[in-house]
Amino acid sequence: MNSKLLACVMVVLATGSACAADGQKARRVFRQMDQNGDRALQFTEIQAARAALFDRLDANRNGVVNNSEAQAAFQRVREGGRLQMATAEGPETQARRMDANGDGRITRAEFAQFIPDRLLRADSNGDRALSPSELRALRQR
């Protein structure tokens, strides 16, 4: 597995889990992500948030998160005590799934389009949105 890809996935998973751990921060992030105000997170809203996260990670703005960018972000997450990995698969499997064209790099589009398995499983009614009750159930897992 490419170390750049693995580091990128580690940041994605760690950052995605960090919000679920802190109730007040989770509510603030939820309000920011819920762009249409329907009190549910559409998968399209999650994808928009992931695109914005990618933009923050891609410091040199080349459209790919390189190893040093990923490592720096991972270090910030770890130092903030927000590292909580929550995935049924290993990060290498997640990375391969995220890398849609199999070129060993995760682009902004690939990163944004990927919906982590834990969110797919949390969508208990299959409507491609996470309601407040589905999000509460996710936090309790």
> Does residue 9 contact residue 122 with C-beta atoms inside 8 Å?
no
Sequence-distant (6+) residues with CB within 8 A of 95 are: 1, 2, 5, 6, 8, 9, 106
> Tens-digit pLDDT profile for the chain (141 aa)?
344 444 444 444 444 544 444 567 667 778 888 999 998 999 999 999 889 888 988 889 999 877 677 777 767 766 765 545 444 455 567 777 888 898 878 899 998 998 888 889 899 999 999 888 888 887 776
> Does residue 105 contact residue 4 with C-beta atoms inside 8 Å?
yes
pTM score: 0.74
**pLDDT value of residue 22:** 55
141, 120, 127: which is closest to 40 by C-alpha? Answer: 127
> Does residue 14 contact residue 85 with C-beta atoms inside 8 Å?
yes
5, 29, 1, 4: which is closest to 98 by C-alpha? Answer: 5
88/61 Cα distance (integer angstroms)? 31
Sequence-distant (6+) residues with CB within 8 A of 68 are: none
* Kind of pairing between the strands at 129-130 and 41-42: antiparallel
> Does residue 103 contact residue 87 with C-beta atoms inside 8 Å?
no
